[in-house]
């Protein structure tokens, strides 16, 4: 019967995405950005949503950027109100799941910016995963919100920045 | 059945336990508890008293007493902090920016650095006003900082530097709300929204006794 051969071919085809090491098409990066910090702040963070549409658990194990001297993976542990920032060896993204790098949680820490950040700057990041794949992304610099967005807060007049 | 005796034995033990629980066990009588010991001890230091202090700012010595008649918001942090401190300072800045000018002149933000080694006056001078001009950066000797932190129940702990000499500082991330008479009235947890901060400020401004 020819059926088993076709099944075999299908199975083989299904494994092909796992074999390519250049980039893993199952991993998607949504809304990456680097937070704009004060001009003399030595460190800032890159945040994003990593989605794993594949069938195997994946881990982000390294991040690099030409824009900073040192790039590390960190998370925050909130112990009874005491915020502890800890470097982590890997950030897990489970199969079919997603992991959000966001303030107060996981983030890619950029230490020693080589040039002062400006809003809108495009920061290149290379993300390395445990399967050997790498992803090149651009994270735009986004300003920290320091003024109340329009419409919030009571309207007593004269409250603009 | 072979195990019948074992089952009876087990039931007997459980029954005995149940009887003991029902008739003999008592929760600790309140008279047995030392009234000075809180039932649910504060996770962070002793119960904070708040209180006056004097520290250094980029424009000279600053005392909390200088701000009598104003609502003060106090935050302990450090400038190497990439995430938590900018988030908290930004929330405070948003709250301050939402106040009417007449309100804002009766409010003062204070950022006390728990990292005096790196956060010099020159650093604070640029870092803190970036968020809002109504926030002043403060620092002092390790002893002075420890004393002020103790008053407010703030905790911080410098971590071991890595191979490049970089280190983070664990710290409690509350924003302390001080009334116009200088008393500590609230500790706002990290993540309190700017809108909530505005509400708290306005409550304190209204509470000011003429």
Q: Which of B83, B154, B167, B170 to mutate to test the interface with A (most CBs of A within 10 A)?
A: B83
pTM exceeds 0.95 for this model? no
Domains contained in chain B, CATH given? 54-207 (3.40.30.10)
Under an 8 A CB cutoff, do A39 and B97 touch? no
Which residues in B lie closer than 8 A to residue A111 (C-beta atoms)? 82, 166
A151 has a chain B CB within 8 A of its CB? no
For residue A101, give both structure tokens: 């790098």
Over residues A49-69, the pLDDT tens digits come to 999 999 999 999 999 999 999
For residue B99, give both structure tokens: 């106040």
**3-state secondary structure (DSSP) of residue B37:** coil
Question: Which of A43, A82, A154 is closest, CB to CB, to B171?
Answer: A82
The torsion angles phi and psi of B168, rounded to 5 degrees, stand at -110, 165
What count of Cα atoms within 13 Å lies in the side-chain half-sphere of residue B171? 29
ipTM > 0.95 (yes/no): no
Which residues in A lie closer than 8 A to residue B173 (C-beta atoms)? 78, 81-83
**What is the spatial distance between Cα A75 and Cα A109, in angstroms, rounded to a whole number?**
9
The torsion angles phi and psi of B184, rounded to 5 degrees, stand at -75, 120
pLDDT in tens, chain A (161 residues): 555 666 666 666 655 554 445 688 999 999 999 999 888 888 999 999 999 999 999 999 999 999 999 999 999 999 988 999 999 999 999 999 999 999 999 999 999 999 889 999 999 999 999 999 999 999 999 998 888 886 654 544 444 44
DSSP symbol at A54: S
> Among A18-27, B4-13, B135-144, B190-199, which stretch is predicted with the lowest mean pLDDT?
A18-27
**What is the spatial distance between Cα B88 and Cα B132, in angstroms, rounded to a whole number?**
12
For residue B120, give both structure tokens: 């010099």
Evaluate whether A140 touches A34 at the Cβ level (below 8 Å): yes
pLDDT band at B16 (very low <50, low <70, confident <90, very high): confident
Domains contained in chain A, CATH given? 21-140 (2.60.40.1890)
Question: Around Cβ B151, how many Cβ atoms within 10 Å?
Answer: 18
Question: Which of B79, B100, B164 is closest, CB to CB, to A156?
Answer: B100
**What is the spatial distance between Cα A109 and Cα B161, in angstroms, rounded to a whole number?**
16
Under an 8 A CB cutoff, do A38 and B87 touch? no
Does the pLDDT of residue B123 top 70, yes or no?
yes
């Amino acid at each position: 019967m020819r059926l088993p051969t076709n099944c075999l071919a299908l199975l083989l085809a299904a494994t092909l995405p796992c074999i390519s090491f250049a980039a893993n098409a199952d991993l998607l990066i949504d809304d990456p950005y680097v937070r704009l910090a004060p001009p003399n702040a030595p460190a800032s963070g890159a945040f994003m949503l990593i989605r794993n549409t594949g069938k195997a658990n994946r881990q982000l194990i390294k991040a690099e950027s030409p824009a900073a001297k040192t790039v590390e993976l960190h998370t925050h542990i909130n112990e009874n109100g005491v915020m502890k920032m800890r470097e982590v060896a890997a950030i897990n993204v489970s199969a079919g799941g997603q992991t959000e790098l966001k303030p107060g949680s996981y983030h890619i820490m950029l230490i020693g910016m080589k040039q002062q950040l400006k809003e809108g700057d495009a920061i290149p990041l290379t993300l390395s995963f445990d399967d050997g794949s790498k992803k090149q992304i651009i994270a735009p610099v986004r300003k920290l919100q320091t003024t109340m967005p329009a419409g919030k807060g009571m309207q007593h007049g004269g409250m603009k920045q | 059945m072979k195990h019948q005796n074992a089952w009876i034995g087990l039931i007997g033990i459980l029954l005995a336990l149940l009887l003991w629980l029902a008739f003999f066990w008592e929760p600790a009588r309140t008279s047995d508890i030392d009234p000075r010991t809180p039932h649910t001890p504060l996770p962070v230091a002793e119960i904070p008293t708040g209180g006056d202090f004097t520290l250094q700012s980029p424009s000279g010595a600053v005392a909390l007493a200088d701000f009598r008649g104003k609502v003060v918001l106090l935050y302990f942090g450090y400038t190497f902090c990439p995430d938590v401190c900018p988030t908290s300072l930004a929330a405070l800045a948003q709250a301050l920016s939402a106040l009417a000018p007449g309100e804002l002149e009766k409010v003062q933000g204070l950022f006390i650095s728990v990292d005096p080694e790196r956060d010099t006056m020159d650093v604070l001078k640029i870092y803190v006003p970036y968020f809002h001009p109504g926030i002043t950066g403060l620092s002092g000797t390790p002893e002075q900082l420890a004393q002020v932190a103790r008053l407010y129940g703030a905790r911080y702990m410098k971590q071991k530097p890595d191979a490049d000499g970089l280190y983070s500082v664990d710290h409690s991330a509350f924003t302390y709300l001080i009334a116009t008479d200088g008393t500590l009235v609230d500790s706002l947890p990290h993540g309190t929204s700017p809108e909530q901060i505005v509400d708290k400020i306005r409550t304190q401004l209204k509470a000011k006794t003429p």
